[in-house]
Chains A and B, each alone.
Chain A
């Protein structure tokens, strides 16, 4: 069983992300499953960022700490991750950083500098890289000091280019050293580099050279390494994708034709990927012998405009969506209320990040659950769905676009920073778009005269005609069946009831199996409840806890609105101990469950440090709850 984790650290803007992606590609080429994520500061250049990769021949559910390999080519990376390295692991570092002292690294968070100084001082040491190496070696860690300056000179000489122009190849020197140490054959590294930089020969060549110089160096100083056996997934066509990318792909496949956005982390990469693919070749469409279709992707002046523009497009019969994160979603609230009142089909992909306020713009948080459900003034029921992983995000996007149109309602798709920037590998059957038919509900193309946009019906759904098909009024004011503004008490009551009936129709139409999923043994006496991207870490933790003799099941809430009260109660009433796992401080899911089921969730595991939730966090939390009988555990891992 291969199950390895590695970290590549370095300054933002220095190529760490590309290096991480190269590692992911090499791993996939070698036949393994992989998960890779980028942790970074809200900064363009200079602050510490790192790429964390885990790979295995089995399913890779979550990232894990400590890791088996760290590539830390600057002092800040060595010192920041000093506690992240397993004693069985190895550190690749630059020997020229040995004398550097944490207290003098300007880009390092002052609090981290202080913590390092205190820890090192308590051992009678200064917080230098040399001392960090000493501490790590005492733990049993293997350290590999690279003479980076010399190696770069070699690359420069071989390429015939000045050092400054090839300086970014340090990352590849680092990862090539690490991958070679782990047993990757050099050809996997160069193939991965070709995939990464193939269309940019000027970048590719120095990097290939850098990789082979690094491997040569490791081989001559540390000996030939045993080859790692290939993983089980050789000879397959596989897709490497981030969460941002898979949602973009699903929107395009699902027929999205209009996407608006205002730049915001971690959402705008999704719109970027749609824009990259906004002009697509299609087959099998006979209409006007079209062979290429376009998607309108527009950057708006703010998120208010983004959602209102998408609403306008949706009213013409287009499939329209917008994507944002918490701060932008706050600005969208009034328009969400309009979309409920005026009954507009619109998808909002909400990529949560660490709040409140601008909080930590580039880090993880699950703090917008209640905000999304209760967004918009007035009574504004809407659909809220949360995806647990990439595959769910794919299908959820397709379903969400259907539901928006079938039920003429805003649908909020909850995603988060962790999913946004996490890369995984998928096989073709795992994302089969033919599983979800494209459905558009009660659409009428030629409604004729006397069309009632808000016709009272039993299921609360009125036939929906696009603007331009007949005279009509779409109104955000309370209205009569035609859409004329009306303050009449009967009209008002009828429309209020209509919207409630519609929401009941939604609740009835979506199968319970799509609203919540029970993972594991229904008779387990301990139940974890959670939503969103914590899913795989929880599943990983359950496997680990089972090995330790603790049996747990996991109730994953997929649709948070309309809330599956009865099905949830069925499961929760069997459980003796319910633990909520959430990356927010209020216990938002616990509050929601209590509101809908009356069940008080007594135990909680929360992550508040804006870092991804690891499976080990949950293992630790559950053990603390069971063994020490604590009610609430805050887990704090991550750098």
Chain B
């Protein structure tokens, strides 16, 4: 029998504030996992630090709660060591794009088969509302003594420049649409990122649900022919300018949906398999390292180039 979304809940108390956008995101993740019928034992949710990273306790899986900003490298190590696992990173904009920004870029370069879900509320909630990396300049949210003097990052463009092969944006309260996007991100073979606009009713009194809902629209609703898939370099040349134009749009109108999905690029796992055939069937987590507690190799046999006869 296929699993229901209830099978992905845990007994832990979900400790977010009432009305938090994270609830909607969590719900859409549960639903996406159920529709994909992923075995919780083979599912690894990796979180950093922050409200949203706590999702590792709220989704049934074989999960890891790491330290601030480092969920992507930990997740990368997990996936590369055991490519059979489904690996999903959850975290906030501060965790993934602020303190962890360098790792975010590096994952794009690698194109490891990991889905990164950014719970993007533009503030640091757990530390009481400081400005996050996606908060626009001059915005003064209620916890800030002065307006924000630092500009905001564009997560989609950063992902595009870094080499992510799946880039999407969702909205926390649109559970069903978000569920479909998350599903597509998990199914995508390669590094996927979903920037999820998430109202923080406690600390972000500027980017509220009202603020978002006046602006958001779906790419497909505006243009029913919208197709983010790239199947060849020619298709990339034709589509890229329009994709970038849509990624740049963030103001009076904010597009949602899948912006870009490059089906041409190989994953890092595929590259390892090419260089060292057998990697995928015997990855680091599964390969033998000894026989009867003895090593499989001997230095004088294996490293012949260092051995000489005097």
Contact = CB atoms under 8 A, between A and B. Distances in A.
A468 B296 contact: no
A431 interface: yes
B64 A467 contact: yes
A264 to B, nearest CB: 16
A475 interface: yes
Interface string A214-242: 00000000000000000001111111110
Nearest to A230: B310
B297 A474 contact: no
Contact of A290 (B40, B287, B299): B287
Contact of B298 (A253, A312, A437, A477): A253
B148 interface: no
Interface string B125-158: 0000000000000000000000000000000000
Contacts of B57: 473, 484-485
A36 B306 CA distance: 15
Interface in B56-106: 56-57, 60-67, 70, 72-82, 84-85, 102-103, 105-106
Given A313-B80, A433-B298, A468 B276 contact: no
**Size class of the A contact interface (CB-based, 8 Å):** 35 or more
Interface stretch (A273-281, A495-503, A549-557, A606-614): A273-281
Interface stretch (B172-180, B190-198, B217-225, B277-285): B277-285
A187 interface: no
Interface stretch (A302-310, A454-462, A531-539): A302-310
A293 B62 contact: no
Helix, strand, loop or mixed for chain B's interface? mixed
Given A312-B78, A474-B63, A292 B296 contact: no
A239 B303 contact: yes
B41 A293 contact: no
Contact of A468 (B56, B285, B289, B291): B285
Contacts of B291: 284-285
B64 A252 contact: no
A283 interface: yes
Contacts of B282: 287-288, 290, 293-294
A467 B308 contact: no
B42 interface: yes
A588 to B, nearest CB: 27
Contacts of B44: 467-468
B54 A485 contact: yes
Nearest to A259: B284
Given A195-B308, A471-B41, A284 B296 contact: yes
Interface string B17-44: 0000000000000000000000011101
A319 interface: yes
B80 A258 contact: yes
A283 B134 CA distance: 54
B300 A237 contact: yes
A591 interface: no
Interface of A: 25, 28-31, 195, 233-241, 245, 249, 252-255, 257-258, 260, 277-285, 287-288, 290, 292-296, 298, 300-302, 304-306, 308-320, 334-335, 337-338, 342, 428, 431, 433-434, 437-439, 466-477, 483-485
Contact of A285 (B54, B62, B272, B288): B288
B293 A437 contact: yes
A314 B281 CA distance: 18
Nearest to A310: B77
B307 interface: yes
A233 B74 contact: no
B145 to A, nearest CB: 29
A309 B310 contact: no
A237 B300 CA distance: 9
The 8 A-B pairs at the shortest CB distance, nearest first, are namely A312-B77, A255-B289, A257-B284, A294-B276, A308-B73, A309-B77, A313-B81, A318-B284
Contacts of A245: 303, 306
B297 A282 contact: yes
B308 A28 contact: yes
A288 B287 CA distance: 10
Given A309-B74, A470-B62, A434 B294 contact: yes
Contacts of B74: 308-309, 311-312, 315
A233 B308 CA distance: 12
5 contacts: A240-B306, A258-B284, A278-B276, A290-B288, A474-B65
B296 A255 contact: yes
A304 B72 CA distance: 11
Contact of B310 (A238, A282, A342): A238
B289 A438 contact: yes
A207 to B, nearest CB: 18
A318 B285 contact: yes
B302 interface: yes
B238 interface: no
A296 B272 contact: yes
Contacts of A467: 44, 62, 64, 78, 82, 85
A316 B295 contact: no
A484 B309 CA distance: 58
Given A236-B310, A253-B302, A294-B282, A258 B63 contact: no
Nearest to B309: A237
B77 A338 contact: no
B284 A477 contact: no
Given A240-B306, A293-B282, A433-B298, A484 B12 contact: yes
B269 to A, nearest CB: 10
A575 B234 CA distance: 80
Given A28-B308, A428-B300, A253 B73 contact: no
Given A290-B278, A301-B106, A311-B77, A468 B62 contact: yes
Given A257-B287, A288-B282, A474-B65, A277 B303 contact: yes
A31 B297 CA distance: 27
A485 B299 contact: no
Contact of A293 (B63, B72, B105, B296): B296
Nearest to B277: A292
A475 B62 CA distance: 11
Contact of B276 (A31, A236, A279, A428): A279
A236 B65 contact: no
Nearest to B44: A467
Contacts of A293: 278, 282, 287-288, 296
Contacts of B302: 249, 252-253, 277, 280-281
Nearest to A438: B290
B105 to A, nearest CB: 7
Contacts of B64: 312, 315, 342, 467, 473-475
A239 B310 contact: no
B303 A433 contact: no
B285 to A, nearest CB: 4
A349 B103 CA distance: 22
